[in-house]
A and B are shown apart, each in its own frame.
Chain A
Amino acid sequence: MWEHRALYVAISPFYILFAVFGLFPIGFSLYLAFHKWDGIGIMTYNGFNNFKYMLTDAEFWQAVGNTFMIWIYSTIPMLFFALIIAFLLHAPFVKFRTLFRVGYFLPNVTSIVAVAIIFGALFANNYGFLNYLLQSVGLPVVEWLNAPWGIKVAISSMVVWRWTGYNAVIYLAGLQSIPQTLYEAAKIDGASAIQSFFRITIPMLRPVILFTVITSTIGGMQLFTEPQVLVGNDGGAGAAGMTIVLYLYRESFINNYFGYGAAVGWGMFLIIALFSIVNWKLVQGKSS
């Protein structure tokens, strides 16, 4: 080992940084999850109380439910639109394709706080743009940010707006990796465009779809900034926009239950892991 020490020194920055900023916080949060700590005073050992409190806390389960609802509201339309957009971008008749690709990717690099402010103006109960449109065609206004489903729709639409282009670009890469010869062979055998879409494109895209489903699951379970900026730390009316991470944030940094926040973090880790496995099995299952 010692004769290679120059090499170890060369690769050490990553491991040192990972140990300091990755490994230590993970270990510390596990330690913290079994303690009671207000962030400043002394830490006291709390056993499994934090976890017990979490499992019996109605607000925690509401946050879990909200997160799943928002995930469903956002992921299904998002991946659907992404696939269509990718397909169109791949089509030979579309001109200025690079321009479109950049355009669809732009929402992803826009500051999320700016996005939330714009969406806040769109969905505002009074003087909101959507309600203005509804009113101008003679429809009754919707109190978007007071209704439990309205808050979820507003948050989901932000997610859709932000991530559709990103997923489209990934799907596009997947589409481009499918050998053209497969389509040509199918054409010679007399397959229609729809047949080749469902028999060639979708099966060949499965690994890419799996990737986007898993990343959307992780991203969706970790949703925080959108609801926080749109409806505040308490998740808005009836806590309908309270997600798991927002709950974690409020309990740790607003209410100063840092030990409890750490426990919620680990609870969330388990939920994401389980849910990712379920998704993986589902998407995988179809192929075999």
Chain B
Amino acid sequence: MVCVLLISGCSIWPGQDDSANNKKVTLTLWYWNRSIDDKLIARAKEKFPNIELTAQKIGGDFKAKLKTTLAARSGEPDIVALNDWIMELFPSEDRFYNLYDLGAGDIEDQYLPWKWKQGVTPNGQMIGFPMDTGPTALFYREDLFKEAGLPSDPEDVTRQINSWDAYAAAGEKIKEKFGGKVFLTDNIATVYNQVLSQAAERYFRPDGSFIGMDSPTVRKSWDTAVAFKEKGLLANADGWTPGWNAAMNNGEVASFVGAVWMKQVLQEAAPDTSGKWRVARAPGGDGNNGGSFLSILKSSEHPQEAFELVRWLQSPENQLEQYQTLNLFPSAPGVFDDSAMTEKEPFFGGQATGPVFADSAQQVPDAFFGERYPSVHNIITRRLNDIAKQNANPQQVWTDTVHRVERELQR
């Protein structure tokens, strides 16, 4: 706290600007580990000699820290990175600069339109500048697919396993072939999330009204997830647990639909399976999961300088560079054809997975989330877990979930 006060001290006392300091503008940037390349930040300092940049890597619960700071109205950074929970901050749009006012409109055509829209509030204020994205695709074990008599070449997989029904049928084949020792996919939440991520319509309309639990998208996602459980296609390995890592490494899971950043997660979790994985387009369509944004807080005294910095940090060229250094997938389609995106990857048996994700990224449907998306989504995935792990009656859980969501929305 003291540090933050000291650092932002210069901008609090405007009188200091005159005192021979050759008018350097002080800016603070909050980001989390691996969201921006540290070398790029070092280069930004050379590129903008008029800016005294203090980049702070915030550890722990980033969102909680940011919200506490916003609530306290003191010690706020000038620029802050936001994750895909950006919509939770839409009701507080007045705490952020409208990036359109700072000139963001000029470069809008360089970025993926659906990604750009995710940073714009229903009132048309742009509070988040696109950073990386999370286009999804099907990660699968080529050797296991081949052994089960399924298509194993990425292009064949894309063509033949193109719907959730075809994918489930492939799962039945795998189950039969390996006598239940290998599961099609990891857990029920993944299935639900991915079916949902392929649709344009979620839980809310842009005017904030609730579409209802009987919307075709929600029903389809729910029914698909439950069907996967009932057919015994789930390994019940939850993400971000040692159990998931072990299941991947031991070859208990033959595939999963995941975002591009899962490449890194998978490589670290399952080093023993190197060379056996491939990536194809996801069954049922393309979607997006995750990705981040940069925002400029209203408390900043130098929004224009901050915007120039943001614009440079996330320029297509710098996004491409961060794809190479940190595996952050660009949101600027102009660099998708670059040779860096088509490099062969040994973990994926020499396949160049970049183009698969690039194709996916360009097909992601526009989606409106709404600030209550996280709480509704959380209620549903939580209940799905009861079906998957405690064999709860799906019909019962559905009724219960509908009731619970209605209650939540009345608050």
Contact = CB atoms under 8 A, between A and B. Distances in A.
Interface in B86-114: 88-89, 91-92, 95
Interface in B296-312: none
A146 interface: yes
Interface in B64-92: 64, 67-68, 70-71, 88-89, 91-92
Interface in A235-253: 237-239, 253
A121 B246 CA distance: 12
Main secondary structure of the interface of A (DSSP, over half): loop
Contact of A234 (B92, B236, B378, B411): B378
B246 to A, nearest CB: 5
B386 interface: yes
A127 B243 contact: yes
A264 to B, nearest CB: 13
Contacts of A212: none
B246 A126 contact: yes
A184 to B, nearest CB: 57
Interface residues of A, number: 26
B159 interface: no
A127 B375 CA distance: 32
Given A53-B411, A126-B247, A238 B386 contact: yes
Contact of B242 (A39, A127, A147, A257): A127
B33 interface: no
Contacts of A147: 390
A190 interface: no
Interface residues of B, number: 27
Contacts of B378: 234, 254-255
B237 interface: yes
A237 B389 CA distance: 7
Contact of A40 (B71, B237, B246, B389): B71
A124 interface: yes
A115 to B, nearest CB: 16
Contacts of A285: none
Contacts of B407: 57
A224 B375 CA distance: 21
A124 B242 CA distance: 9
A239 B392 CA distance: 13
Main secondary structure of the interface of B (DSSP, over half): helix
Interface in A32-53: 38-41, 53
Given A238-B390, A256-B88, A39 B243 contact: no
Scoring A125, A148, A257 by chain B CB atoms within 10 A of each residue's CB, the highest score goes to A125
Contacts of B375: 255
B382 interface: yes
Interface in B232-291: 236-237, 241-243, 246-247
Contacts of B242: 120-121, 124, 127
Interface string A195-226: 00000000000000000000000000000000
A257 B408 CA distance: 11
Interface string A140-165: 00010011100000000000000000
A117 B30 CA distance: 29
A120 B407 CA distance: 33
A40 B243 contact: no
Nearest to A49: B411
A41 B88 CA distance: 11
B385 interface: yes
A146 B386 CA distance: 9
B88 A127 contact: no
Given A40-B67, A255-B375, A239 B382 contact: yes
Interface in B382-405: 382, 385-386, 389-390, 392
B390 A146 contact: yes
Given A41-B91, A146-B389, A253 B243 contact: no
Interface in A68-91: none
Given A40-B71, A41-B92, A121-B242, 4 more contacts: A39-B70, A40-B95, A127-B243, A238-B390
15 contacts: A38-B91, A40-B67, A40-B89, A40-B92, A121-B242, A124-B243, A126-B243, A127-B242, A127-B243, A146-B236, A234-B378, A237-B386, A238-B386, A238-B389, A238-B390
Interface of B: 64, 67-68, 70-71, 88-89, 91-92, 95, 236-237, 241-243, 246-247, 375, 378, 382, 385-386, 389-390, 392, 407, 411
Interface of A: 38-41, 53, 57, 120-121, 124-127, 143, 146-148, 234, 237-239, 253-257, 260
